[in-house]
Amino acid sequence: MSQRATFTDLRPFFLTIADVEHEHGGGFDWTAFFGNDNPVELDIGCGRGLFLVTAGEANPDVNYLGIEIDYGEGRRAATRLQRRQLSNVRVLGGDVFRGLTELIQPGSVSAVHVYFPDPWWKRRHRQRRIFNRRFIDLCVTALQPGGLLHSWTDVEEYFGVISSLMEQDPRFETLPAPVERQATHDMDYHTSFERKARKVGKPIYRGRWRLVENGEQAHGTN
Ligand SMILES: C[S@@+](CC[C@H](N)C(=O)[O-])C[C@H]1O[C@@H](n2cnc3c(N)ncnc32)[C@H](O)[C@@H]1O
């Protein structure tokens, strides 16, 4: 007997890069994809989608696309979206570097969220970290002028790397970091990894930066 796994069809909530290339002519036309002209925000490495569900429900006038390389995790997120029929949220299964270079039109995104990116603890694996200069350049291309980049982590050293890359980049201005607030119920956290870290009392490092408009000067760079 065949041992092939059967997968529930989670479209349109979960699509792979190949699906988008096939069904949307090679790249995202957000208006056609979401069926409206609302702003689009990306959640890079969305995991099982707590942020996507909470933000998608709280902001029905914003569209969200999670990008997740691990199809198992991405499909878990999409199952939550399908259960709630959240029409303003989708998950793209695939590598963010491919998604940003091949599918997302320049200047078409109003915010990028990067929560708890994999820290790759071993020194010899550090080059696998996604938050680097190339990633920032791709975000600059994807973002509209004035667009926001949010990144949180519980890894102090990685946050040091992220914030120094961002603060040295004249294309961005550093905004005040969001303050921590008390959770009001067991799932009242920004993401699953934030939930896990806060439950064991780890500090969270939060950063927020804004892509400056043409001709505008980022604070602290002159
Ligand atoms: C530590 S988890 C954090 C998940 C979620 N953001 C959270 O805060 O709960 C990092 C996630 O990034 C995903 N990831 C790692 N590299 C990626 C890449 N190149 N493209 C897309 N997703 C990636 C991993 O599969 C994983 O789900």
| pTM tops 0.85 | yes
Supply the residue whose CA is at minimum distance from atom 19 of ligand 1: 95
Q: Is 19 exposed, middle or buried (0-12, 13-18, 19+ CB in 10 A)?
A: middle
User: Of 19, 37, 61, 118, which one is the catalytic site residue?
Assistant: 118
Ligand 1 centroid to Cα of residue 175, in Å, is 24
Asked if the structure places residue 54 within a domain, the reply is yes
Active-site annotation holds for 118: yes
Asked if the structure places residue 2 within a domain, the reply is no
What confidence category does residue 143 fall into, taking pLDDT thresholds of 50, 70 and 90? very high
Dihedral sign computed on CA atoms, order 209, 196, 80, 116 = positive
How far apart CA 84 and CA 217 sit, in angstroms, is 43
Asked if the structure places residue 36 within a domain, the reply is yes
Domain encompassing residue 196: 14-211
Mutate to test the pocket of ligand 1, among 42, 96, 150 (most ligand atoms within 8 A of CB): 96
Q: How many domains does the chain have?
A: 1
CATH number at residue 22: 3.40.50.150
Q: Is 78 exposed, middle or buried (0-12, 13-18, 19+ CB in 10 A)?
A: buried
- Tens digits of per-residue pLDDT, 30-87? 999 999 999 999 999 999 999 999 999 999 999 999 999 999 999 999 999 999 999 9
Asked if the structure places residue 4 within a domain, the reply is no
Asked if the structure places residue 216 within a domain, the reply is no
For range 133-157, the mean pLDDT: 98
For range 76-101, the mean pLDDT: 98
Interacting residues of 8 by C-beta distance below 8 A, sequence separation 6+: 79
